[in-house]
Amino acid sequence: MTAGSACGWAAGVLGVVCLALQFDSISCHFPMFGTVNQSVTFPVSSSAPFTEIMWTKNRDKVLEWEAGSSVRVFPPFVGRVHLDTTSGSLTIFNLTYSDEADYKLDSLSSGDILFTLKVIDPLPSPTLNCTLAAEDITVNCRIPESYNFIQHLNYSWNCFPALCKNGSNMSEVVIKRNNDLSQEIRCTVNSPLSKQTSLLVLATCVPAENSRSRFAIIPAVVIPLVAGVIFLAVQKRFSAMWQRNRENRPQLTGASR
């Protein structure tokens, strides 16, 4: 029944599919993710100690081991794998895209356990972008198209529901323009292995005069502006007066002659 206990543990992991076959034999199927150039460990937890282990990749041998002898590793995994002979777990280092495959632990002690490995890019930071319509601001959270796992990402926003309405998909929110645009919103992108967050100050989405934050800007901008206008007007007035005086002076002197 060791197969059953290994799979019972496995069933606690999200997305695992276990099929009960006849005669106590149970086959489990784990989705696994690894980041390119990093490592991945296929976790096995068997209640009985192992006496022999074989790991295969799409039916090709990765390694084999028997109690009392050393682990024999096959290309292209030589120098790139580690077997924990106690737990049965296999670790692959320096992952490449060509490591993507089905991996199977074959052992009398545990039954078969199958892992399907996907090798994904490191997750970049999202780019936040906004587009302006009459009433609304639509904010988009984007990961470059080149990211190899883009359709499996999910997006979340730290934004009060009163402020942010759902857009046409998770990577988009819609905000009414008449909100307080001095706040910032954050988009968090989750891959199966990591997450990245970027933020956007909403005021940067609208031309300055349309922003609510103009109320904060009024004293800072308007006062010097008014002072400047008054100064220019006064200066113009004085220079006009001075000019007139200069024009009038010859007449006056002429008249006094």
Ligand X SMILES: *[C@@H]1O[C@H](CO)[C@@H](O)[C@H](O)[C@H]1NC(C)=O
Give 127 or 182: the residue with its C-beta nearer to ligand X.
127
Q: Of 128, 98, 108, 252, whose CA–CA distance to 189 is shortest?
A: 128
Closest distance of CB 134 from ligand X, Å: 16
The amino acid at residue 224 is: P
Give the whole-angstrom CA distance, residue 49 versus residue 86.
6
Closest distance of CB 32 from ligand X, Å: 13
CB atoms within 10 A of CB 136: 15
Pairing of β 60-66 and β 72-73: antiparallel
List interacting residues with ligand X (CB under 6 A): 36-37, 80, 93-94, 121-122, 127, 129, 142, 154, 166, 168-172, 190, 192
* Cα R_g (the chain), whole angstroms: 35
DSSP-derived letter for residue 206 is S
- Tokens matching residue 56: 């295969």
